[in-house]
Structure 1
């Protein structure tokens, strides 16, 4: 091989090494992008599943609470009807009305506080998802910027190598 052929092959070998180096960065960048997307999808899916199951649990609790309250009222009505004494009957009827009012108040407070907590949890989840997405977007932008700078640096090294090697 002549001296001239060796000089021409040197820049090509360096170019191949630098291209391999840049391609490794590109592969890493692609992997990071895919990982970020899958992480965000998993996060969103998991959070939505938690919210759905929480809503279902609260609905079931509300149904059971209403069922128990209905049974209590029915039992009290039956007890009142079986008592023959009018004065005791009126007293129990009055007491039952007060118990019903208290029960309705407790149910209203309980339902509203559960709903407030669920709404707060939902808002927190949405905000958290937004923050995670923003962070991943910023990370992706930074990663793209670094990749672009590496590509520019590589091209600069190649050009410098082409200039310097023929003069050697």
Structure 2
């Protein structure tokens, strides 16, 4: 009977040791989940920023076009002679210049955001790949630890059985 108590206490010891590894494993899983959530959150923030910038750009283009149209209508109402054609041509040229300036203004912003998006995608892929690799390594290590704990339990049982004889 004394061996039974000793056997149960040794099993409890090894089970406790194994459970501590399980807790570490669960903690690492949670850390990985939080890391992926942070990457996803950053990705959503970047998409929102790009969307906002694109909206601002479109609104700017729209406002410029509306201004040009209003000036043309006003000039049409004020003057119906040959000079109007010259003013209209001048306004068209001004609009072309304005569009080129806007393009030069927005182009660096788009380049930076494209770079950020590409970097974000690469970072996300790398992080997910590293996390998956860590999970596989941990899983393999945990299986070996479980096997070791089982072998240690069996060894103690055999030792106690030999001690009984």
Give the structure-1-normalised TM-score: 0.74
Aligned counterpart for 1:134 among listed residues 124, 129, 140: 129
CA RMSD of aligned residues (A): 3.1
Q: How many Å separate the matches in 1 of 2:148 and 2:137?
A: 16
Match of 1:99 in 2: 94
Deviates more, 1:27-36 or 1:75-84: 75-84
Aligned counterpart for 1:11 among listed residues 7, 23, 29: 7
Q: Which runs of 5+ in 1 are unaligned?
A: none
Residue pair 2:61, 2:99 contacting (<8 A) in 1 also: no
Q: CA deviation at 1:136?
A: 1.1
Match of 2:18 in 1: 22
Residue pair 1:80, 1:92 contacting (<8 A) in 2 also: no
Q: CA deviation at 1:113?
A: 4.1
- Work out the number of aligned pairs and report it: 162
Is 1:65 the counterpart of 2:34 in the alignment? no
Aligned counterpart for 2:35 among listed residues 28, 39, 43: 39
Residue pair 1:22, 1:154 contacting (<8 A) in 2 also: yes
Q: Which runs of 5+ in 2 are unaligned?
A: none
Q: CA deviation at 1:75?
A: 5.7
Match of 2:118 in 1: 123
